[in-house]
Chains A and B, each alone.
Chain A
Amino acid sequence: MTGRALSGGRAASAPLLGHETEPTIFEMSVSGRSAYQLRTTGVPATALADLIPATHLNGDVVNIAEVSERDLVAHFTRLSHRQFSVDLGMYPLGSCTMKYNPKFCDAVANDPGLNSVHPGAPAELTQGWLELLATLEEKLCAVTGMAAATLQPAAGAAGELTGLLLMRAYHSANGDPRRRILIPDSAHGTNPASVTLGGYEVTTVPSNDRGLVDLEKLKASLGPDVAGIMLTNPNTLGLFEEEITEIAAAVHEVGGLLYYDGANLNAILGAVRPGDMGFDIVHMNLHKTFATPHGGGGPGAGPVAVSKRLVEFLPGPKATRLDDGTFAWVKPSRSIGRVHGWHGNAMVLARALAYIDVHGGDGLTRVAKYAVLNANWLRQRLSDTLPAAYDRVCMHECVLTATPLKNKYGVRGLDVAKALLEEGFHSPTVYFPLIVEEALMFEPTETESLQTLEALAEAVERIAQRAIDDPDALHRAPQTTPVSRVDEARAARHLIPTEDAASR
């Protein structure tokens, strides 16, 4: 297949004009220079001292950089050239679902009819937004098989904590909040962190030799003090929990609830719904499954959908469709209260609805199918170089291991990940899940083509050959990137979080 790996996803042709670092905006600052322009208002320019008592005035202590508009543009444009992105090339970062973000969805959300609306304006004047939110809630429930949802949580972790507070409210209403939450050893770190903030204790459930929850050990951990279990399905190994109905039955048997971590929802769209698997609470990462851009680490959105028995506890107020066809803010009867300052990351929610509408039920089903096809093709294609940790059909991502390269040539997973950057690809997720040695977790997503997958595979093979020829060079990779490996220990030992700390 060599020769057809001229792909859209390989970014090795990205131009660079040098190897100097970019000065900070503060270093570029020249006192007295400015870029801002404001409206001519005609408002009386009363001296501030005549409006506000002197005890409140700060004596002009706050300084910002002073640059021209031209320098501002040059600075941030150059910074952007020092940044990898989905638009530039393939981002096979496992668990993060870095698929292509349709420009249309951004454009729709950026319409002034949506983005110039004040969140505190009366519902009568924002009916379009309320309808949009109510419609999105209905569609997310259709995708997940749940009864109702809150759109307030601003990201996946916020959704997790919201879900745990819902569990607490539900159990408390039944007389006992309970004490423990079960979490598989392969779970994302946000799960246990959220459990603690939800006022619960973590009980870790081990995986079996097939990379799945060990059902017998799970049953042994269950008891009347278990509030619920948090599961990702497919799990973080990219494997579907085949005993999910047995797990659900066992947890429900002791009165516990099942929480679905939607980090990997992309794999099962249209194939199976969390509600049908027995889950009571589901969070969705709209910035993964529904392709809203990640923004370099947010904004995300983490709506939480629930089964019927939890609906009355949902955060609120919620945009609600009334019988007369209008919309109003309604707080569920036993609501846990707000989990966001306003109505959630509304612009992200609007993008997700546009994405759902473009795809429809048929398109979303294809999304999952091709995501799973791509991951399995890559797993199989790389099997001689980076074997799969669990060698069988995976879902939307595959966890491979660099253990053979490490044992034979001393080349670690991190070295492979860094060398891929020189090849024009973003690295896969490294050393996660924690239960796999030298883990490299690849999630190609459905929007990458066969040609891009082939180009990635060939890049991995070249790196494997370099491991034989010159392993030391791999320890030093990458060298063609804006900076080479950074001294993380030094950053932590001597914290410099600001320009002012740097100059002290």
Chain B
Amino acid sequence: MNGSNGKNRVRTRVGATLLAAVLLGIGVMAALDEIIFHQLLAWHHFVETDSSALALASDGLLHTLELVLLVSGAALMLRLHETGQHAAGYRGAGFLLGMGGFQLFDGIVDHKILGLHQVRYVDNLLIYDIGWNAAGLLLLAIGYWLLRRARHGEAMSQR
């Protein structure tokens, strides 16, 4: 997965750059979800049950994994930049793909298949579900568009 572009003199690593950006995207989206929807608006918690010890434990584990993804992604991205191995054009694409991927995963798997929690506890839930998943799809679409531009060498940072 090693790509190159004409300007850079060192070998760039497309796969590693995408991985770092996706990790950062997932971490940031999970943090935004936690901060805005769990804490500020208090619409839902990760597992909506009658406060069983296991549900709380799952929340603690999720929170830890989000932090680890964020810090690991940042460390990897920093290292790639220090050594000049980052693949320009793939950073934004990976970041948005990570964000959109997590949002859609949360909306489909967590909310609907596993039924861990809903977006908001109101009568007309459908609007919230559509909004939640549409946001995820939109982020994924922009991320995919950026990825294609990067593959064709047309991204802003590649010119």
| A and B form one complex | no
Q: Which residues of B contact A (CB under 8 A)?
A: none
Q: Which residues of A contact B (CB under 8 A)?
A: none
